[in-house]
Structure 1
Amino acid sequence: MPNTQLGDVFEVEPLRAAGDAALATIDERAIDVEPIHRGNRKRTAIASFAERDPVVVQVCEEPTWLRTEAALLGEIRERTFVPVPPVLATGSHDGVAYMLTALVGGADLHERFTAVDAETRRELASWFGKALGRLHEAFEFDGYGRLALSEGVFTPGHDDWPSWFRQYGLRAVERLPEAFDPVCDDLRALFEDPPAEAAPTARLFPWDFRPGNALVADGSVTAVLDWEAPLAAPPALSAAKSEYLVADWYVGDPVPLRQAFRDGYTAVRPYPSVRPAHRAAAIAESAVDSAGVVTNPRYPPVGRAKAVAFHRDALVDVVSDERTERG
Structure 2
Amino acid sequence: MSRLTAAFDGESAHAAAAAALESIDDAVVDVESIDRGRRKQTALARFANRGPVVVQVCAERTWLRTEAALLSAVRRRTFVPVPPVLAAGAHDGVAYMLTAYVAGDDLHEAFVSIGEGARRDLARWFGAALARLHEAFRFDEHGRLELSDGTLTSDGRDWGPWFRDYGRRAIDRLPPAFDPLRDDLRAVVAAESDGESDARLFPWDFRPGNALVAGDSVTAVVDWEAPLAAAPALSVAKSEYLVADWYVADPEPLRQAFREGYADVRPLPAVRPAHRIAAIAESAVDSGGEVTNPRYPPVGRSDAIAFHRDALAAVMTDT
For this structure pair, what is the TM-score category when the shorter chain's length is used for normalisation? over 0.9
Q: Does 1:139 align with 2:132?
A: no
Question: How far, CA to CA, are the matches of 1:216 and 1:6 in structure 2?
Answer: 28
Report the alpha carbon displacement of residue 218 of structure 1 after superposing the two structures with TM. 1.4
Which residue, out of 276, 280, 283, partners 1:283?
Answer: 280
Report the alpha carbon displacement of residue 256 of structure 1 after superposing the two structures with TM. 0.2
Question: How far, CA to CA, are the matches of 1:246 and 1:187 in structure 2?
Answer: 23
TM-score normalized by the length of structure 2: 0.99
Which residue, out of 234, 238, 260, partners 2:235?
Answer: 238
Question: How far, CA to CA, are the matches of 2:230 and 2:190 in structure 1?
Answer: 19
Report the alpha carbon displacement of residue 193 of structure 1 after superposing the two structures with TM. 2.6
Give the partner amino acid of 2:318: D
Report the alpha carbon displacement of residue 190 of structure 1 after superposing the two structures with TM. 1.0
* Residue pairs, 1:104-115, within 5 angstroms: 104-115=102-113
Percent identical among aligned pairs is 67
Say whether the 8 Å CA contact 1:163–1:194 is kept in structure 2: no
**Greater CA drift, 214-223 or 4-13:** 4-13
Match of 2:196 in 1: 199
* Residue pairs, 1:172-187, within 5 angstroms: 172-187=170-185
Give the partner amino acid of 1:99: M
Match of 1:219 in 2: 216
Match of 1:270 in 2: 267
Say whether the 8 Å CA contact 1:67–1:90 is kept in structure 2: yes
Question: How far, CA to CA, are the matches of 1:33 and 1:53 in structure 2?
Answer: 13
Report the alpha carbon displacement of residue 11 of structure 1 after superposing the two structures with TM. 2.4
| SS at structure 2 position matched to 1:272 | coil
Report the alpha carbon displacement of residue 189 of structure 1 after superposing the two structures with TM. 0.4
| SS at structure 2 position matched to 1:290 | coil
Which residue, out of 67, 70, 83, partners 1:69?
Answer: 67
Report the alpha carbon displacement of residue 133 of structure 1 after superposing the two structures with TM. 0.5
Match of 1:33 in 2: 31
Match of 1:54 in 2: 52
The alignment's C-alpha RMSD in Å is: 0.8
Which residue, out of 313, 318, 322, partners 2:315?
Answer: 318
Say whether the 8 Å CA contact 1:144–1:233 is kept in structure 2: yes
Which residue, out of 4, 8, 11, partners 1:10?
Answer: 8
Question: How far, CA to CA, are the matches of 1:306 and 1:108 in structure 2?
Answer: 23
Question: How far, CA to CA, are the matches of 2:218 and 2:253 in structure 1?
Answer: 20
Question: How far, CA to CA, are the matches of 2:215 and 2:60 in structure 1?
Answer: 36
Give the partner amino acid of 2:304: A
* Residue pairs, 1:91-110, within 5 angstroms: 91-110=89-108
Say whether the 8 Å CA contact 2:192–2:274 is kept in structure 1: no
Unaligned 5+ runs, structure 1: 323-327
Report the alpha carbon displacement of residue 111 of structure 1 after superposing the two structures with TM. 0.2
* Number of aligned residue pairs: 319
Q: CA deviation digits over 1:202-243, x for unaligned, max 9?
A: 100000000000000010000000000000000000000000
Question: How far, CA to CA, are the matches of 2:196 and 2:306 in structure 1?
Answer: 34
Match of 1:90 in 2: 88
Say whether the 8 Å CA contact 1:158–1:164 is kept in structure 2: no
**Greater CA drift, 313-322 or 186-195:** 186-195
Question: How far, CA to CA, are the matches of 1:198 and 1:8 in structure 2?
Answer: 51
Q: Does 1:209 align with 2:200?
A: no
Match of 1:325 in 2: none
Q: Does 1:252 align with 2:249?
A: yes
Match of 1:158 in 2: 156
Say whether the 8 Å CA contact 1:83–1:224 is kept in structure 2: yes
Question: How far, CA to CA, are the matches of 2:117 and 2:216 in structure 1?
Answer: 10
